[in-house]
Structure 1
Amino acid sequence: MRNVSIFLYEWKHFVRSPFKIVALLLFIIASIYGLQNGADLYEKQNAEIERINKEAKTEKETVVAYFENNKKGPENRPWVDVTTPFWAIWSTPTYHFKKPSPAIVYSIGQTEHYGFYKAIGTSSSPYDADMAKEIANPERIQSGTLDFSFVILYLLPLLLLVLLYNIKGREAEHGFLPLVFVQTGSKNWWILSRTAFYTLLLLFILLGLLIYGAMLTTVFNTENVFWQVFLWVSIYLLFWIIIYFLILKFGKNTVSNTLQMIGVWLLFAFIVPAAVQQWVSIERPTNLMVDIIDAKRDKTDEIYDQPNALTNEQLYKLYPNLKQTEVAKDTSRIKNVRRNSITALINNAMKQATAKVEEDNRYRNELITQTYWFNPLTYFQNKFNHVSQTHYDDYQAYRDNIQDLIDKRIEIMVLDIWNDVKVDKVKYLEYNKTFKK
């Protein structure tokens, strides 16, 4: 009964406070806006993926028509011969997508920092320029995108501050705090009960917002994702509740409590993340990907200009089976075959260059991970991103898959060229099936 009385008292106090009601309404509006942004991005990416798949299907049907009409390629490009492995694979439209998770409605994460589709060719790389199409608009980067996770991470603590700042302080300033303690029996219990009222109120509102977000996409069709998000949102809420409760317990007055709450929020929301970012930048400066640029430009020219014997040696090292092919023993045919296989060596050089970039990124991420114990906002942000599959690790796995497809494409092309494989409609459709992932 004592809890019910305190809850009723706090409810009356809440509904009589326009400032708190307005703050709560603004929080709800911001949350809905963030959820809509996530849902819009989800729909746009799915629509783009569908459009690209239709284009790829049209391209494939065009090439299939060449085989059915006994043609070797388009009439305006007589050098294209789709009956050879090189041009058949070159004419096989292949895309790899990072399909958006329905949970992107809750956290956009790094979605706008990377592309979500990649056209795979024999000269492609996971770090090509088209992998970053989403950041081509400087104004978009400057303005940023408000998503639900931002509202939770930065605005929820401010909302809590507004709801809790005058608990105990107002009573202490008016001089009837001892009477309250006599009536409730315990100072800590009274403060805890009033704080628990707003905790339950916010949990109920957050649950409603999460349900609204789930209705915008297909979150409920994804196993446990909804409850994972709700769990981490609840833990984050309790994290700030505990901090503010301790401030209220040991605070003297409303002004002092408010200043301490603002100070803690500024510390965790801005000062600590900024200091960590500065430390990481000093410890391991951002990789400007100079190695990739050099490999793409200088190393490519070097490979094309190197002696044929060295090219043969490098190709045999990559694909030992080439030595046993008939083409390898035919000096009159090996020249063109070797030329069409050089992309394998360029791809290998690019992989060595990208390994340095990925190692730097991995090291920087490990450094940030070590700061989680005093950098809670970054910790929770990464948790939200993991659940919504918008974390850096998700995009690293996406890049790894792209590289695997490139490797497979080049390997099949080189082996089929050296084995003098003749491509027909069946073989071409087999290429399409093999490269689809």
Structure 2
Amino acid sequence: MRDLTIFLYEWKHFFRNPFKILAVFLFIVAGVYGLNNGYSLYQNQTAEIEKIHEKIQTEKEQYQQQYAEGKLTDDSRPWIDMASPFWAIWYTPTYHIKTPSPAMVYSIGQAEQYGFYKRVTFMASPYDADMAEEIANPERLQTGTLDFAFVVLFLLPLLLLILLYNIKSAEAEQGFLPLIEVQTASKNSWLISRILFYFLLVTSVTIGLLIYGAMLTDVFKNASEAFGQILLYTLLYLAFWSLIFFFILKNGNSILGNTLQMVGVWLLLAFVIPAIVHQSISISKPANLMTEFIEVRDKQEELYANDSVFERKLIDLFPEITKTTAFNDETKFNSAMSNSAYALVNELNKEAIRPIEKESQDKNTLIEATYWFNPVTFFQNKFNSIAQTNYNDYQVYRDEIQALIDKRTGVLIEDIWADVKVDTERYKWYSESLSTAR
């Protein structure tokens, strides 16, 4: 009953303070704006993916029509023979798409920094120019778009600060604390009840925003688990800041002193520590300039300049070709060797990628090791992980692209050296099979 009385008192106090009402209103506006930013990006990516699917279908139908009509060569480009596995696979449109999660409405993460679709060709690589290198999650904090995660991470503590800054300290400055001790069991329980009121108020506002966001991208239907996880970590984050502010208010007796301490802790946890971590890791693990890919071009030239080295490496990579039709037919051997070049280039690219990915993984391991004193980064990564917009999600995406490239070059080598003649059925198989790494 005593807690209910305190809640009713705090409710009246809240509505008599236009500054606090304005703070809640601005928080809601920022939350709605952030959710709409996430929704806009989700919509744009979804619309682009639909266009890509339409483009793929159009290209497939065009080439299947050519096979049906027997138009396997082009007078203007006589070197192209669609009966050859090389050209048939070359003109098999294959895209790998990272379908955006509906939970992106809550956390954009790296979704703006990284490509979400990739045309897979013999020459493709997960680190091509259209697949910009990932920015580490803590770095994203410094340049992030105002999305819902940004609002929670940076503005929610400020809102809580505004709602709590004068609790107890105002009564202490006016000399009312002894009277409160007489009327309540303890000052601590009275303080906890007042903080709990605002905790529940902010929780209600946050749940309302989460539901609004869920309605934008139909999260309840397509990613219901994500809603529960975002809610859980948001409440944990709110509880984390509520606990910090409780200890500041418990031990403070002046409005100015409490406010300065609360602002100081907010600046320390939200900006200073992430910035120090970011700078320290940037010094120990500088951004990779991917110069390894320049070396790949040099190694390609060496391969092309030495036929014996080229042949040996190809046989080492695909020993089964020595038993094929083309390998034992001198008239077909040179053409098959020439068309197999991309398989070796793919291996060179993979060798160049390994140290790049190891450096990225080492960097993220260092970041994860700071979570115990860098909580804002921890929660940022959790939100991005739930929304499928963090480093690991894009690493999986890169791995899937590489698997498709490997399969494409593997099928190419197998069919070239087996001297396969592509017809309608084989092209249809290419269209279906090469779109999945399985």
Q: TM class, shorter-chain normalised?
A: over 0.9
Question: Aligned-pair distance for 1:134?
Answer: 11
Question: Aligned-pair distance for 1:218?
Answer: 2.1
Q: Which residue of 1 aligns with 2:340?
A: 341
CA contact (8 A) 1:112 1:134 kept: no
The one-letter amino acid of 1:181's match is E
CA displacement 1:89-137 (0-9 Å, x = unmatched): 00000000000000000000111110000000011000001123999xx
Write the distance in 1 (CA, Å) between the matches of 2:360 and 2:173.
Answer: 53
CA contact (8 A) 1:114 1:133 kept: yes
CA contact (8 A) 1:115 1:133 kept: no
Write the distance in 2 (CA, Å) between the matches of 1:205 and 1:299.
Answer: 59
Q: Which residue of 2 aligns with 1:419?
A: 418
Question: Aligned-pair distance for 1:142?
Answer: 10
Q: Which residue of 2 aligns with 1:268?
A: 269
CA contact (8 A) 1:66 1:73 kept: no
Write the distance in 2 (CA, Å) between the matches of 1:120 and 1:402.
Answer: 7
CA displacement 1:343-390 (0-9 Å, x = unmatched): 111110100101110000000000000000000000000000110000
Question: Aligned-pair distance for 1:319?
Answer: 1.1
Q: Which residue of 1 aligns with 2:281?
A: 280
Of 328-337 and 229-238, deviating more is 328-337
Write the distance in 2 (CA, Å) between the matches of 1:23 and 1:241.
Answer: 17
Write the distance in 2 (CA, Å) between the matches of 1:220 and 1:302.
Answer: 56
Write the distance in 2 (CA, Å) between the matches of 1:182 and 1:204.
Answer: 32
CA contact (8 A) 2:60 2:92 kept: yes
SS in 2 for 1:240: helix
Structure 2 vs 1, CA of residues 380 and 164 (structure 1 numbering), >3 Å: closer, same or farther? same
CA contact (8 A) 1:63 1:73 kept: no
| 1:10-159 matches, cutoff 5 A | 10-132=10-132, 145-159=145-159
Question: Aligned-pair distance for 1:190?
Answer: 0.6
Q: Which residue of 2 aligns with 1:9?
A: 9
Write the distance in 1 (CA, Å) between the matches of 2:134 and 2:218.
Answer: 23
Write the distance in 2 (CA, Å) between the matches of 1:420 and 1:280.
Answer: 52
The one-letter amino acid of 2:277's match is V
CA displacement 1:34-92 (0-9 Å, x = unmatched): 00010111111011001011111111111111111111144432221111100000000
Q: Which residue of 1 aligns with 2:327?
A: 328
Structure 2 vs 1, CA of residues 23 and 419 (structure 1 numbering), >3 Å: closer, same or farther? same
The one-letter amino acid of 2:310's match is T
CA contact (8 A) 1:102 1:219 kept: yes
SS in 2 for 1:78: strand
SS in 2 for 1:7: helix
Structure 2 vs 1, CA of residues 133 and 316 (structure 1 numbering), >3 Å: closer, same or farther? closer
Write the distance in 2 (CA, Å) between the matches of 1:228 and 1:73.
Answer: 55
The one-letter amino acid of 1:423's match is V
Question: Are 1:240 and 2:241 an aligned pair?
Answer: yes
CA displacement 1:303-359 (0-9 Å, x = unmatched): 222x22211111111111101012111223211110110111111010010111000
The one-letter amino acid of 2:255's match is T
Q: Which residue of 1 aligns with 2:210?
A: 210
Write the distance in 1 (CA, Å) between the matches of 2:144 and 2:274.
Answer: 18
TM normalised by structure 1 equals 0.96
CA contact (8 A) 2:95 2:119 kept: yes
SS in 2 for 1:111: coil
Write the distance in 2 (CA, Å) between the matches of 1:73 and 1:409.
Answer: 22
Write the distance in 2 (CA, Å) between the matches of 1:216 and 1:233.
Answer: 19
Q: Which residue of 2 aligns with 1:250?
A: 251
CA contact (8 A) 1:106 1:213 kept: yes
CA contact (8 A) 1:247 1:261 kept: yes
Structure 2 vs 1, CA of residues 142 and 282 (structure 1 numbering), >3 Å: closer, same or farther? closer
Write the distance in 2 (CA, Å) between the matches of 1:75 and 1:223.
Answer: 55
SS in 2 for 1:48: helix
Root mean square deviation of aligned Cα? 1.6
SS in 1 for 2:81: coil
Q: Which residue of 2 aligns with 1:194?
A: 194
Write the distance in 2 (CA, Å) between the matches of 1:251 and 1:215.
Answer: 42
CA contact (8 A) 1:327 1:420 kept: yes
Q: Which residue of 2 aligns with 1:410?
A: 409
Structure 2 vs 1, CA of residues 196 and 13 (structure 1 numbering), >3 Å: closer, same or farther? same
Question: Are 1:361 and 2:360 an aligned pair?
Answer: yes
Structure 2 vs 1, CA of residues 111 and 402 (structure 1 numbering), >3 Å: closer, same or farther? same
The one-letter amino acid of 2:229's match is Q
Q: Which residue of 1 aligns with 2:160?
A: 160
Structure 2 vs 1, CA of residues 142 and 14 (structure 1 numbering), >3 Å: closer, same or farther? closer
Write the distance in 1 (CA, Å) between the matches of 2:196 and 2:389.
Answer: 33
Unaligned regions of 5+ residues in structure 2, if any? 136-140
TM normalised by structure 2 equals 0.96
Question: Are 1:436 and 2:401 an aligned pair?
Answer: no
Instruction: Name the count of aligned residue pairs.
Output: 430
CA contact (8 A) 2:127 2:133 kept: no
SS in 1 for 2:167: coil
CA contact (8 A) 1:111 1:390 kept: yes
Write the distance in 2 (CA, Å) between the matches of 1:329 and 1:406.
Answer: 27
